[in-house]
Structure 1
Amino acid sequence: MINSKELKDFVSSVFIIKKDGKRERFDINKLARSLINSGVNYKDIDFIVNEIQKKVYNGMTTDELKENIYKILKKIDRDVAENYYRGIILRVRTSNNQFEPFDKEKIVKALVREANADINIAKKIADDVERELKKMNVRYLTAPLIREIVNYKLIEYGLEELRHNHTRVGIPVYDITRLIKCGNRENANLLHNPESIHKWVADEAMKQYALLKLFPKHIADAHLKGDIHLHDLEYAATRPVCLQHDLRPFFKYGLKVDGTGLHTSVSKPAKHPEVAIQHAAKVLMAAQTNMAGGQSIDEFNIWLAPYVRGLTYEKIKQLMQMFIYELNQMYVARGGQVIFSSINLELEVPDFLKDKPAIKGGEVVGTYEEYEEEARMILEALLDVMLEGDALGKPFLFPNFIVKLRENAFKNENYGLLIKIHQLSAKFGIPYFINMFPEWQKINTNAMGCRTRLSADWTGDAEKDTLRTGNMQWYSINLPRIAYEAKGDDDKLFEILNDKLELVKEALLIKHKITLERLYKDKILPFLTQKFDGEDYYRYEHTTKSIGFVGLNEMVKYHLGEELHEKEALKFGVKVIEYIREYTNKLKDETGLRWSVTQTPAESTAGRFARLDYKYYKEETLSVVRGDLNDINSLYYTNSSHVRVDAPITLSEKILVEEKFHPLCNGGHILHVWNIERRADPDVLLDLTKKISKRDIGFWTYTKNLTICENCRKGYGGLLDKCPNCGSESLAKYSRITGYLQNINNWNPAKKQELKDRKWWI
């Protein structure tokens, strides 16, 4: 009988005859590896190797060897035996839900195509990945799994840049399940429904794409760490933000909602008022497919005035009712929401439009100066519709209802309209006011959403500066963190601030370049680039690139030990925002682009910055952050340059503080007069409006909190816990979040905490 040593010596001298006739020394280690790759359990390897050593002989063919191994394996595990005998056939479930044999050449091609990898490196990675896959006991592979293993190998080889370009974006299964069950609270206008779930999933993929592909690592890292905030990341690759519409081109030439007329029906210019109203609503609906933010129509009642000449007031009211319901029932905007819309309205025809041709049905029908009475009737009809509310008595949440107050606003002939406007404020807290009295407001100024603003301060041409253009994008700076890092040093603070401004500038220039490509190279925004009289509808060259900021109050509190409503802190706060404004003014000269400073609405950013600072600068944050420290999600900073919502000051003192910043924030600003329900008297509010209009406040609104009983449908001022009429606790509560009214059930925890903290101002 041969002993084990003799057997090993014999086996080591054995040669196997390969299929091509060549001789190869029998290798026990190679045999063991092939068995492992076939899925053989480690504990069975020694037994199989020993059995084969007893059967192998000099001159044995590979087929004979394979047949012997197969017979032994069959006694242990038939499936493993079949794997071995046929050779391991890896199958891959592809992205189009088909099964294909694994092909490592696809890895090579992908690495070369997607990551610009050297062909030899790509082949080496592919070989390694194939070996790894064969070790796995996985019958069917997926493309994402293979990509993960490729990326792992790239990291293993120190090829981080290649991995960065080759990575896959997506969202974990757990997170999708959570979205389906619980929804998301980043945008209060986005309700929990099947469409919003799809949007949130798509948004996450596009956000990852933007951070991986569009922005360089230092900008992406600054966003992720909370130094800055890149708003609307999900749209960074595809579209700009806000747009201020002019209805005249559509009333003159007709409507192509797809911008080309090739995919949808084309309408001739509206001849009848009902059609004009529908076209106005459809312009907002169509444009939101090309834009990320608010859609607004400036001079709304002026453009429509020619269409209502000769109509009774009741007919005009019915038309306005149709428009308001269109905007509140077109449940078709991104992710299943109504369109985030605004209309800017006039008490009189402004001077810059008086001699302009009035358009109706494709024809000129005089000048707009001739239609002032019709414009006033449209405004009054809109007010009556908004005052009535919907069928259940709820307020119409859209459009944002913006009234411009020009030099003749407070004349006696406007008293009736002004009282109705303030009745609407007293009942629902809906209207916004643009104060055109300060000289810095120029010929025309308008608003497009929460506060984004255009004024005739760019070329001096009111139409080019404020119509058919908008805000390309705004990105924001975390001001409190700058104070934490400066540690009380003024020079250091402004040095760090300048560094953050440079980051935001770079990010905005990247977005500018991307948007130019989407508009004019890829041509995926056809509604914006459709031409009227040889000119693109969208005046992109006049769009604003805006730098926003969050937490000025907390910055000065940490830096000086005072808050914004205190004398020295206010002086320093103004100095900070003046620095930002001077920076943007210099950028205009350097780049030829339109730069501005905006008060960031910060619906989610105020909470995000606070949470990140609590994580990375906990000790510093404790002395300034707002919210409940036992609930991290409730933490927040004060929006932009506002005083904190419960500052121990009067409304007059608040105005004196916040008016310092409105002329500086030429990209957008707002004064919030919170919680007016205790004294919601139209005459009191009108008197307050007259006083505010004498100050440097450019844009403001009165917020009235509301409770609507879902049982008896009655409405009450204030945020109640029980219906006074029927005792029901099933209540819908409404208040203004940053710049629009919405049900507070849809708010994020930080904004809910801010709501609790808001002070009664009048």
Structure 2
Amino acid sequence: MISIKDFTAKATEFYVIKRNRKKEKFDINKLAKSLINSGVNYNDLDQIISEVTTKIYNGISTDELKDIVYNVLKKIDKDVAENYRRGVILKVRTSEKEFEPFNKEKIVKALIREAGADKETAQKIADEVERELKKLKVKYLTAPMIREIVNYKLIEYGFEDLRHKHTRLGMPVYDITKLIKSGSRENANLMYNPESIHKWVADETMKQYALLAIFPKHIADAHIKGDIHLHDLEYGATRPVCLQHDLRPFFKYGLKVDGTGLHTSVSKPAKHPEVAIQHAAKVMMASQTNMSGGQSIDEFNVWLAPYVRGLSYERIKQLMQMFIYELNQMYVARGGQVIFSSINCELEIPEFLKDKPAVVAGTTRGTYEEYEEEARLILEALVDVMMEGDAMGKPFLFPNFIIKLRENAFKDENKELMYKIHKLSAKFGTPYFINMLPEWQEVNTNAMGCRTRLTSNWTGNPEIDTLRTGNMQWYTLNLPRIAYEADGDDDRLFEILEERLELLKEALLIKHEITLERLYVDGLMPFLTQKFDGEPYYRYDNTTKTFGFVGLNEMLKYHLGEELHDSKEAVKFGERVIGFIREYADKLKEETGLRFTVTQTPAESTAGRFARLDYKYYKNQAETVVRGDLNDVETLYYTNSSHVRVDAPITLGEKVKIEEKFHPLCNGGHIMHVWNIESAADPDVLMNITRKITKTDIGFWTYTKNLSVCNKCGASAGGLRDRCVNCGSEDVAKFSRITGYLQNISNWNKAKQKELEDRRLPKI
């Protein structure tokens, strides 16, 4: 048999007669390329070319040459022979939307580069994939199709680790179509619009990435099974959660919304109150693009007080109206949302700020103690604006409006303003209250989002501990499942609890290291890392890393046979469980120097997810305690955190006595909800309740009034109504507080809608 090398040396003597009768030198490389594109195995190439070359002669026609090649191929691989006769070439549609011939060397290079395979393994897999592709009768291949076959071969040969690294992320066409047509209800604050569709698709890819590339398999599996919940997985690789802002650096040095001034216009320090208001909104807007959770301004009315000196009350009210509308109409947050915003306000200038220089227009003018009257007017104006609602009479959904109640809250000088605040509670249920009177609340405490809490017990400096920092991340324990697995054994219950805490600790430390890298190595969040007076704006070292939990009530019901409202013994055991988590966090704080805390998880979707998974995997146990309709698993839910269940047959006083036990333990965030106050929406009644609550250990609470607003005539009425009380229209929007913020209930998931149906007002 003549060798290819020998034939190549003589190839200049051979001519092929083309169909147009022109002569062309025979090119063995052209023949080889044609054979490869038809799907010939590289190992068969020499044999085929050698046999073909023994049959050709000088002056052969192209048709005769093709017949010879076809007949030779037919003896080796009929499918390839047919590909050659039809002129079929294996083409690949690439991610750049181009077509190119299949080249198995690209598989080899990808396996080495992406998965860390050795050359021999990569070549073996590529050869196998090529053989599989030749059997396919398709017009063209796609890169995802080839990758799927590569991954299949990796699994077939036992290379699971390589497959894990080489896999492709994304969503099925069906799921994307479903999102386009009907959206998602995982987050009630996320409206159905083109931006949210893009976010949902991107989120799914990033969630898959986090579970494959960020967290080790045992943590990812624990999340998928429902032992734990890793919140904000879509941002696990890129962002921290929430931030409590201080406006003074921006009022002193100006505003760079990109953090550098290289990509956007730079503002000088605000000289006029209108500009200061806009800057306050833009600070939260800019930070929201760097973070996954809520944006809050602590001491909001204090920072703005110097800017409104000398203005009439009507002018101040107009400024506050502008601010509120900015936050409710800027669709700039992730996926076309408004900013998930909060503001913390003071009735008086707090002691720790009285002697601090008042920053205004790039300079300072006296101290904040001198602006107490202006701060009070700002707070009153905010109350009045929120009392009026929007142009249709609906409540403003943002910002979460938080009032700090310090020692003088109920003094005569604050009586009128306090009454107004409770009048707003009676009308819309808008305000939240922080009880600053217990000693464990420290010098300063603030809240943001659904309940995330910072207090001045980290370094002892209230500004360092509570301003320009926030929650890095919280991850959550499934408490009822621990009870199912412990099966009545106290010792085993706490062993499992510690094992699950170890998982959360590992996950939080991974997120901590990743966030450090994104902030200070990759420079991904320049707004947060921009410097003022040589210090980064974001005090990342002071952020909280937080253990959350869901379903304490159901854990107790299964483990003890009693719920929180049933007995003092149940409450004491609940304290023991949450106390164990707090002790674990405190010990970890000492060991690592990081700010580990405990929070009552809001669980907008997690309370339902845990219940559904437990009903699937622990059905016999779960069906005895899970809440919702067993005939519709989508409605199943657990009670949030350490709350008593929403329809517990107790008085408000009894509810307070139970839930106050857990607020000092949950130093990373807590809340008490007083649901469905529309039947008792009297400002005097609510104000009296507030006075009593401040004498307890309840640290943070809100009164929730359900509300129905007619989309036709704009009339609003308390309660969840199917028909307008004014015009009779059935086109009615219904609002309530889902976990920590007001939203239209049509956007809620079915589990939270079922919880809403179950809620009742304890006897007052």
Same-fold call, TM cutoff 0.5 = yes
* 8 Å contact kept, 1:39–1:136: no
Deviation at 1:88, TM superposition (A): 5.1
Deviates more, 1:431-440 or 1:104-113: 104-113
CA–CA distance in structure 1, aligned partners of residues 38 and 109 of structure 2: 27
Aligned to 1:598: 599
- Give deviations 1:326-378, integer Å, cap 9, x for gaps: 00000111101110000000000000000000000000100000000000000
Aligned to 2:438: 438
SS at match of 2:597: strand
Deviates more, 1:201-210 or 1:107-116: 107-116
Deviation at 1:465, TM superposition (A): 0.4
CA–CA distance in structure 2, aligned partners of residues 202 and 465 of structure 1: 34
Deviates more, 1:79-88 or 1:175-184: 79-88
- Give deviations 1:17-73, integer Å, cap 9, x for gaps: 565458xxxxxxxxxxx9999699xxxxxxxxxxx9xxx999645997852464899
- Residue 543 (structure 1) aligned with residue 546 (structure 2): no
- Give deviations 1:627-667, integer Å, cap 9, x for gaps: 00110000000000000000111111000000000000000
* 8 Å contact kept, 1:36–1:135: no
Amino acid at match of 2:133: L
CA–CA distance in structure 1, aligned partners of residues 339 and 641 of structure 2: 25
Amino acid at match of 1:396: F
In 2 relative to 1, CA 57–379 (structure 1 residues): closer, same or farther, beyond 3 Å? closer
- Residue 682 (structure 1) aligned with residue 683 (structure 2): yes
Aligned to 2:329: 329
Alignment size in residue pairs = 720
Between the aligned residues of both structures, percent identity stands at 77
SS at match of 2:507: helix
Deviation at 1:99, TM superposition (A): 1.4
Aligned to 1:269: 269
Amino acid at match of 2:645: R
CA–CA distance in structure 2, aligned partners of residues 494 and 165 of structure 1: 36
Amino acid at match of 2:549: F
CA–CA distance in structure 1, aligned partners of residues 139 and 563 of structure 2: 64
Aligned to 2:753: 752
CA–CA distance in structure 1, aligned partners of residues 356 and 334 of structure 2: 36
* 8 Å contact kept, 1:39–1:135: no
Amino acid at match of 2:99: F
Amino acid at match of 1:128: E
Q: Which runs of 5+ in 1 are unaligned?
A: 1-15, 23-33, 41-51
- Residue 244 (structure 1) aligned with residue 244 (structure 2): yes
Amino acid at match of 1:338: V
- Residue 411 (structure 1) aligned with residue 411 (structure 2): yes
* 8 Å contact kept, 1:88–1:134: no
Deviation at 1:89, TM superposition (A): 2.5
Residues 64-213 of structure 1 aligned to structure 2 (within 5 Å) = 67-68=67-68, 70=70, 83-85=83-85, 89-213=89-213
* 8 Å contact kept, 1:245–1:469: yes
In 2 relative to 1, CA 464–35 (structure 1 residues): closer, same or farther, beyond 3 Å? closer
SS at match of 1:641: coil
SS at match of 1:473: strand
- Give deviations 1:146-175, integer Å, cap 9, x for gaps: 111110010011000000001011011000
* 8 Å contact kept, 2:504–2:547: yes
Q: CA RMSD in A?
A: 2.3
* 8 Å contact kept, 1:17–1:60: no
Amino acid at match of 1:281: A
* 8 Å contact kept, 2:705–2:718: yes
- Residue 314 (structure 1) aligned with residue 310 (structure 2): no
Deviates more, 1:566-575 or 1:547-556: 566-575
SS at match of 2:643: coil
In 2 relative to 1, CA 73–119 (structure 1 residues): closer, same or farther, beyond 3 Å? closer
In 2 relative to 1, CA 58–38 (structure 1 residues): closer, same or farther, beyond 3 Å? closer
CA–CA distance in structure 1, aligned partners of residues 745 and 52 of structure 2: 82
Amino acid at match of 1:308: V
CA–CA distance in structure 1, aligned partners of residues 555 and 37 of structure 2: 61
Aligned to 1:464: 464
Deviation at 1:423, TM superposition (A): 0.7
TM-score, structure 2 as length reference: 0.92
CA–CA distance in structure 1, aligned partners of residues 3 and 176 of structure 2: 53
Deviation at 1:83, TM superposition (A): 2.9
CA–CA distance in structure 2, aligned partners of residues 144 and 745 of structure 1: 38
Amino acid at match of 1:134: K
TM-score, structure 1 as length reference: 0.92
Aligned to 2:722: 721
In 2 relative to 1, CA 100–175 (structure 1 residues): closer, same or farther, beyond 3 Å? same
Amino acid at match of 1:372: E
* 8 Å contact kept, 1:242–1:470: yes
- Residue 383 (structure 1) aligned with residue 383 (structure 2): yes
Aligned to 2:555: 555
Deviation at 1:102, TM superposition (A): 1.5
SS at match of 2:545: strand
CA–CA distance in structure 2, aligned partners of residues 544 and 36 of structure 1: 59
CA–CA distance in structure 2, aligned partners of residues 69 and 552 of structure 1: 76
CA–CA distance in structure 1, aligned partners of residues 92 and 65 of structure 2: 30
Amino acid at match of 2:642: S
CA–CA distance in structure 1, aligned partners of residues 4 and 96 of structure 2: 38
CA–CA distance in structure 2, aligned partners of residues 171 and 360 of structure 1: 50
Amino acid at match of 2:723: K
Amino acid at match of 2:405: L
Aligned to 1:230: 230
CA–CA distance in structure 2, aligned partners of residues 72 and 507 of structure 1: 60
CA–CA distance in structure 1, aligned partners of residues 52 and 701 of structure 2: 95
Deviates more, 1:288-297 or 1:58-67: 58-67
CA–CA distance in structure 1, aligned partners of residues 586 and 259 of structure 2: 35
SS at match of 2:425: helix
CA–CA distance in structure 2, aligned partners of residues 727 and 396 of structure 1: 24
In 2 relative to 1, CA 635–505 (structure 1 residues): closer, same or farther, beyond 3 Å? same
CA–CA distance in structure 1, aligned partners of residues 337 and 623 of structure 2: 37
In 2 relative to 1, CA 238–58 (structure 1 residues): closer, same or farther, beyond 3 Å? closer
Aligned to 2:43: none
- Residue 519 (structure 1) aligned with residue 527 (structure 2): no
SS at match of 1:271: coil
Amino acid at match of 1:162: L
CA–CA distance in structure 2, aligned partners of residues 57 and 253 of structure 1: 80
Aligned to 2:255: 255
SS at match of 1:474: strand
Aligned to 1:25: none
* 8 Å contact kept, 2:434–2:446: yes
Amino acid at match of 1:111: L
CA–CA distance in structure 2, aligned partners of residues 681 and 590 of structure 1: 50
Residues 724-739 of structure 1 aligned to structure 2 (within 5 Å) = 724-739=725-740
- Residue 612 (structure 1) aligned with residue 621 (structure 2): no
